[in-house]
Structure 1
Amino acid sequence: MVGRWNLLILALNLSIVIVLSETECPDGFNLSRRKCVDIDECEFDEDNSEGLCGNDAVCHNTFGSFHCSCEDGYRSTSGAANFSAATSVKCEDFNECLEDGGLCGPNASCFNTIPQYSCICEAGFKSTTGVESFRNGDNITCRDMDECQEENVCGQNATCINTQGSFNCVCNAGFKLKSGHQEQCEDICMIGTTICGYGTCYHGASGHYCTCHAGFTNYGHKGSRCTELNCDVFNDKISLTEEFHVARDLVKQLKESCLELTVSENPKELDGEEILKQLLSVIDNLLSGGAFKDNKKVSIFLTMVEETLRFIGPFIKAPWTAITSTHADLKLLVKKGDDFPQGTKTFSTKGAHLNISLKTAAGEPSYYPGFTTVSHLSYANLEDSADGFFSGMKRQEEQSYKINSKVVTVTVSNRNTSHLKEPVILTFDHLKQSNELSHTCVFWDSSKEGGSWSARGCSVLTSNPNYTVCSCNHLSSFAVLMALHEIEDTFELQLITWVGLSLSLICLFICILTFSLIRSIKSPRTTIHLHLCISLFIANIIFLAGISRTENRVGCAVVAGLLHFFFLAAFCWMCLEGIQLFRMVVLVFNTSFKTLYMMAGGYGVPAVIVAVSALANAKGYGTKRHCWLNLELIWSFFGPVCVIIVVNIFFFLITVWKLAQKFSSLNPDLDNLQKIKVFIITAVAQLTLLGTMWIFGCFQFEGAPIVISYLFTIFSSSQGFLLFVMHCLLSKQVREEYGKILSICCAPGKKSYSGLNSSHTSKARASKSTQDTGESRI
């Protein structure tokens, strides 16, 4: 019974549920005919001005709901493709052209619109369907338009050439685009009267051509402008042949070629590279023969090189040419074409570098001949020939110059290079590096007294011990000079000089009396010492009396010449001493010179050197501050001195070697060998004294340190005193004679000193070898 009631209750509940389910549906559904049917929310969207999804969005119904998406050309602010209307997400326009660079394909431009975008063909292209705009996916592309199919687009004097998206008009031969008109060609001969320069323009089948006037040429290129060609530079073959006969054939060939270019309408083509080789061969021959030592020869040489390089430049075929020989290093640039050259070029040769603007090299655009050439030539040893010619330089007091770089020649096709709008920049490596030398940029001026270095138009941009950078507003041959300065006097140096020379004069006078009056010590060697002291004595007197007497030019030159002579004589007598020792040891003992030969060597040789120096450069004797040799002539003294020192060292080395052999022999003559040993020691000491003094003297003309100046002054002023000590006080025999003289002077009642009248008895019994040598041990 209970079970039946339970089943009844369950059935009742089920019926209630069914009834309730048929009367209520979930969200998004409506009850229709007892069924829940999906509601299309998007149908009601049309009644709302903004719609359920907002502006620029589309509503999409789903089963039981709906969602939103942006229209084409818009993107949701959340970035999602679908979004709910219940959120704050909106649709905004985006630039498709930025998103995809190739959206429109090649030769088309993309333009953003709201919404979507448009593709439009670029200028010179059109769409395959003819429409003005399209979009990706329309199967439309842009193709080139052939503008040349249009009638007379370039005119009758030009040819149209189609290009991708455009076209070009190329003027026919003999025509040129008219100024300010991109598509009009005009007869070249009608454009301007200067089209041919110094010539007449004609129109031919193959274009225009120029007929040059007399004296002008376009180097065989009929379409080029005519420029002046001066063949007179090659006319002076006579003087050139006399000075440099090796250049005769080259100059003759250049003259003939030059004349042919100015008179013939069809001159033969020259081989520029071959002429360059000939030129460098001539340079090698001339510079290998030694220094010219003549400023006129230097001028002729440089003029020949400059004119040759300028003449053959247009005939060089390669854009760049580099040729190196034994004595020359050449870099040459040739640029051809109707376009006026632009930019800057750098040239590097041995010891020098050049920076030059091509506009400077080409000249004025209105006279541009259709080519530009630049040559940069560095000489290996021309500084030896061109050194010493400084008459064009403005010197400071006691200042001289010396070349301290390689000499270079710069030429260009531009004929007007006397004053350039843009300067050329030259960098020179120094031949001698020093922190204490000042440098000057110079060029070779052939118009200055036959030829001289001049600083006109050139300035130093920067300089250091290794190189100098120069700026010059004209072209020629260039170099860098270093300024040399004589030592400046100070009170301390003057005091040392006067005190030292006064003491030396007293000591030299005692030496002269000793070697001339004491007969017991007379020998060939003491004769040499006597004349050495006489030379130094006279030189020191002249120095004290006249070294500063510069008010009289002639008198000062005489003083300088006498000092030159007597100082050289002192070294010559010192050289004779070395030769005398050599003869005594190496040849035969006790061998001596004849007095006449010694006088010829001691005084004749210096007289010849001074005479030759005076004839070669008389102005070299005397300076503005001292009556001594100027810096241009100073090596007429230092040169012989160096030779004498080297010769004496050679003789002393051989003498010492032979003396050592004699000491090692079985039966040596120890007495004579010992004396010769002493002689060698004193001779070497004497050479060291005088040689050291003038070694320090060599460094007095280039801003020497003050310590060198003091050492030179001390050695030079005290040499008489040191010679007295070496040859008199340190000689036992001389000291003995001095002792006898003093004993007689102190005891007047005794017999007179026999040494002043006749040889002492003991000396008479001395051996002949002792008399010849005349000295005892130290």
Structure 2
Amino acid sequence: MQGPLLLPGLCFLLSLFGAVTQKTKTSCAKCPANASCVNNTHCTCDHGYTSGSGQKLFTFPLETCNDTTSSKTTQGRKELQKIVDKFESFLTNQTLRSTEERQEISSTVTTILRDVESKVLETALKAPEQKVLKIQNGSLAIETRVITDNCSEERKTFNLNVQMNSMDIGCNDIIQGDTQGPSAIAFISYSSLGNIINATFFEEMDKKDQVYLNSQVVSAAIGPKRNVSLSKSVTLTFQHVKKEDPVLTIITYVGLSVSLLCLLLAALTFLLCKAIQNTSTSLHLHLSLCLFLAHLLFLVGIDRTEPKMLCSIIAGALHYLYLAAFTWMLLEGLHLFLTARNLTVVNYSSINRLMKWIMFPVGYGVPAVTVAISAASRPHLYGTADRCWLHLDQGFIWSFLGPVCAIFSVNLVLFILVFWILKRKLSSLNSEVSTIQNTRMLAFKATAQLFILGCTWCLGLLQVGPAAQVMAYLFAIINSLQGFFIFLVYCLLSQQVQKQYRKWFREIVKSKSESETYTLSSKMGPDSKPSEGDVFPGQVKIKY
């Protein structure tokens, strides 16, 4: 009885299997997303995708192809982070570095560098779709390039740039001709490794040689296999960490010391000389205070790179103080323009009200907002390996240079407008003598102010090319004496200040003379006369 019953069932199952097979064969055109058809019978996931079942070839119509590039990249970054952590722990292990011999340290560092190179190349090759990959943290900066087109362009050269160091390498030297699949190049810069090398390898050199490492340590690697024969030269360009010049250092410190004294005298003059106290001197005062604090902090803190948190705070404070000084310079230029425009107006109350209303929010508020935004976005770029200043990476220095260039440009426009206005004033035949004198004084101040408030800083941007050293000396000399120029223009060359200085000098001399007279009379007594040869403390010998 079972045989006749099983035969129809078996026939039904065979027919169902055939129907499923027929359906599968005809469903290849309906492969899932990110998959392609193979021989009109199977589907396979595209490169960078993996089937949900893990099978390379599949026919199941509900199969999916999942993106594995991101997960592979994440996993590669995690593996790379382990190497980075190991590298950073070595850098911070002072005991290990003090007990190990130089050869052991060299061997350990070499091993770590090779591990980093291998992991970086492995990460790049796992995700060839990401042709360019950049990674950066406190101790490492990495850039990788992946080539998958077998160098379609002849003589193509790739440029990799990390931490101001760069490398140029030909495409053919990366793929190595016979390499199957994608090839990769990795360029790595180690920002902290130079401190170990300097301390370990150059300490025993003679002092007269003055040998030190003046760039960051870099390494480069090609994968998946190493190329020992390059068809073209590889160009490496290093950014100098220092160009220390003892003459420049002396000029800077002496000049800043003179500026500090002059800025202090200028601030005291603006505070105590009531004859010149107005909106203009208030602007001079705050400019002098900002420059005084900035120069003082520069002298005592620019080289305090340890601890790192303190160095970052010093860099942020310098960023704020110098930006504040430039902002007060901008307010000086604006006030000078408004004064020139209203030169014939006796009452300056409207100008003074405007300046008093805007000068404190602008003078101290705008720099604070700029520094706050910079610190919130990239706080790790405050402080470098050898200076407590802004880092050059990621164009961060432009958070300072950008506002400086903008302020200088605005001041230059205001300077041109002031001279145009003053020329019209001088050409008027009905101008009074006092007006002409005021106009000439404003013209002189405009010239001096443009020089003080902008031109000196522009020399810092011109330190490139063959004239870099000359510009460096000019910048150090002129900019370090900025406080002296302010004291000269706004104090020593002001007739009102000169008059006040002479008055103070006469009062000091008179006070000293009265003090000496009182001392002499008190020693002699009311009815006594000095005899010949008597000498009193602090007095000259009196003869009759």
TM-score > 0.5 by shorter chain: yes
2:224 to 419, 433, 437: 419
Determine helix, strand or coil for the equivalent of 1:393. strand
Partner of residue 743, structure 1: 506
Determine helix, strand or coil for the equivalent of 2:511. coil
**Residue type at the aligned position of 2:264:** F
Partner of residue 661, structure 1: 424
Determine helix, strand or coil for the equivalent of 2:189. coil
Q: Superposition pairs for residues 404-443 of structure 1, below 5 Å?
A: 418-420=223-225
Report how many residues are paired: 363
Q: How many angstroms does 1:524 deviate by?
A: 1.2
Partner of residue 412, structure 1: none
Partner of residue 574, structure 1: 329
Instruction: Render the CA deviation track for 1:278-337: whole Å, top value 9, x for unaligned.
Output: xxxxxxxxxxxxxxxxxxxxx9xx965759xxxxxxxxxxxxxxxxxxxxxxx9979xxx
- Is structure 2 residue 287 aligned with structure 1 residue 532? yes
- Return the alpha-carbon distance in structure 2 between the equivalents of residues 620 and 704 of structure 1: 29
For residues 669 and 227 of structure 1, do their structure 2 counterparts lie closer, same or farther at Cα, with a shift above 3 Å needed? farther
**Residue type at the aligned position of 2:49:** D
- Return the alpha-carbon distance in structure 1 between the equivalents of residues 413 and 384 of structure 2: 35
Q: How many angstroms does 1:487 deviate by?
A: 3.8
Partner of residue 689, structure 1: 452
Compute the TM-score of the two structures, normalised by the length of structure 1. Answer: 0.40
Partner of residue 511, structure 1: 266
**Residue type at the aligned position of 2:376:** L
For residues 747 and 627 of structure 1, do their structure 2 counterparts lie closer, same or farther at Cα, with a shift above 3 Å needed? same
For residues 234 and 617 of structure 1, do their structure 2 counterparts lie closer, same or farther at Cα, with a shift above 3 Å needed? farther
1:608 to 369, 373, 376: 369
Higher relative helix content: 2
Q: Superposition pairs for residues 264-279 of structure 1, below 5 Å?
A: none
Residues 183 and 223, structure 2, Cα contact 8 Å, conserved in 1 = no
- Is structure 2 residue 39 aligned with structure 1 residue 232? no
Determine helix, strand or coil for the equivalent of 2:324. helix
- Return the alpha-carbon distance in structure 2 between the equivalents of residues 419 and 533 of structure 1: 61
Partner of residue 638, structure 1: 401
**Residue type at the aligned position of 1:598:** M
For residues 231 and 667 of structure 1, do their structure 2 counterparts lie closer, same or farther at Cα, with a shift above 3 Å needed? same
Q: How many angstroms does 1:419 deviate by?
A: 0.6
Residues 565 and 606, structure 1, Cα contact 8 Å, conserved in 2 = yes
Residues 486 and 700, structure 1, Cα contact 8 Å, conserved in 2 = no
- Return the alpha-carbon distance in structure 1 between the equivalents of residues 439 and 368 of structure 2: 31
- Is structure 2 residue 361 aligned with structure 1 residue 544? no
Determine helix, strand or coil for the equivalent of 1:507. helix
For residues 599 and 230 of structure 1, do their structure 2 counterparts lie closer, same or farther at Cα, with a shift above 3 Å needed? same
For residues 357 and 585 of structure 1, do their structure 2 counterparts lie closer, same or farther at Cα, with a shift above 3 Å needed? closer
Q: Superposition pairs for residues 136-175 of structure 1, below 5 Å?
A: none
For residues 561 and 737 of structure 1, do their structure 2 counterparts lie closer, same or farther at Cα, with a shift above 3 Å needed? same
For residues 228 and 701 of structure 1, do their structure 2 counterparts lie closer, same or farther at Cα, with a shift above 3 Å needed? farther
- Return the alpha-carbon distance in structure 1 between the equivalents of residues 363 and 442 of structure 2: 19
Q: CA RMSD in A?
A: 4.8
> Rg larger in 1 or in 2?
1
For residues 421 and 605 of structure 1, do their structure 2 counterparts lie closer, same or farther at Cα, with a shift above 3 Å needed? closer
Compute the TM-score of the two structures, normalised by the length of structure 2. Answer: 0.55
1:347 to 150, 154, 173: 154
- Is structure 2 residue 387 aligned with structure 1 residue 626? yes
Instruction: Render the CA deviation track for 1:95-133: whole Å, top value 9, x for unaligned.
Output: xxxxxxxxxxxxxxxxxxxxxxxxxxxxxxxxxxxxxxx
- Return the alpha-carbon distance in structure 1 between the equivalents of residues 296 and 504 of structure 2: 28
Unaligned runs of at least 5 residues, structure 2: 1-27, 61-123, 133-146, 160-168, 196-213, 515-544
Q: How many angstroms does 1:735 deviate by?
A: 1.2
Q: How many angstroms does 1:679 deviate by?
A: 2.5
Partner of residue 394, structure 1: 190
- Is structure 2 residue 495 aligned with structure 1 residue 732? yes
**Residue type at the aligned position of 2:293:** I
Higher relative strand content: 1
For residues 709 and 552 of structure 1, do their structure 2 counterparts lie closer, same or farther at Cα, with a shift above 3 Å needed? same
Q: How many angstroms does 1:711 deviate by?
A: 2.1
**Residue type at the aligned position of 2:189:** M
Determine helix, strand or coil for the equivalent of 1:629. coil
Q: Relative contact order (alpha carbons < 8 A, sep ≥ 6): 1 or 2 greater?
A: 2
Q: How many angstroms does 1:616 deviate by?
A: 1.5
Partner of residue 497, structure 1: 252
For residues 487 and 714 of structure 1, do their structure 2 counterparts lie closer, same or farther at Cα, with a shift above 3 Å needed? farther
Q: How many angstroms does 1:514 deviate by?
A: 0.7
Determine helix, strand or coil for the equivalent of 2:266. helix
Q: Superposition pairs for residues 309-388 of structure 1, below 5 Å?
A: 346-347=153-154, 355-356=171-172
- Return the alpha-carbon distance in structure 2 between the equivalents of residues 697 and 426 of structure 1: 41
For residues 264 and 363 of structure 1, do their structure 2 counterparts lie closer, same or farther at Cα, with a shift above 3 Å needed? farther
- Return the alpha-carbon distance in structure 1 between the equivalents of residues 485 and 503 of structure 2: 23
- Return the alpha-carbon distance in structure 1 between the equivalents of residues 287 and 306 of structure 2: 31
- Is structure 2 residue 339 aligned with structure 1 residue 584? yes
Determine helix, strand or coil for the equivalent of 2:239. strand
- Return the alpha-carbon distance in structure 2 between the equivalents of residues 722 and 640 of structure 1: 23
- Return the alpha-carbon distance in structure 2 between the equivalents of residues 516 and 724 of structure 1: 14
- Return the alpha-carbon distance in structure 1 between the equivalents of residues 238 and 355 of structure 2: 48
Residues 486 and 701, structure 1, Cα contact 8 Å, conserved in 2 = no
Residues 255 and 480, structure 2, Cα contact 8 Å, conserved in 1 = yes
**Residue type at the aligned position of 1:511:** A
Q: How many angstroms does 1:263 deviate by?
A: 5.8
Q: How many angstroms does 1:652 deviate by?
A: 1.4
For residues 680 and 604 of structure 1, do their structure 2 counterparts lie closer, same or farther at Cα, with a shift above 3 Å needed? farther
**Residue type at the aligned position of 2:260:** L
Q: Superposition pairs for residues 468-479 of structure 1, below 5 Å?
A: none
Residues 305 and 388, structure 2, Cα contact 8 Å, conserved in 1 = yes
For residues 690 and 425 of structure 1, do their structure 2 counterparts lie closer, same or farther at Cα, with a shift above 3 Å needed? farther
Instruction: Render the CA deviation track for 1:254-278: whole Å, top value 9, x for unaligned.
Output: xxxxxxx96689xxxxxxxxxxxxx
Q: How many angstroms does 1:219 deviate by?
A: 6.6
- Return the alpha-carbon distance in structure 1 between the equivalents of residues 244 and 298 of structure 2: 15
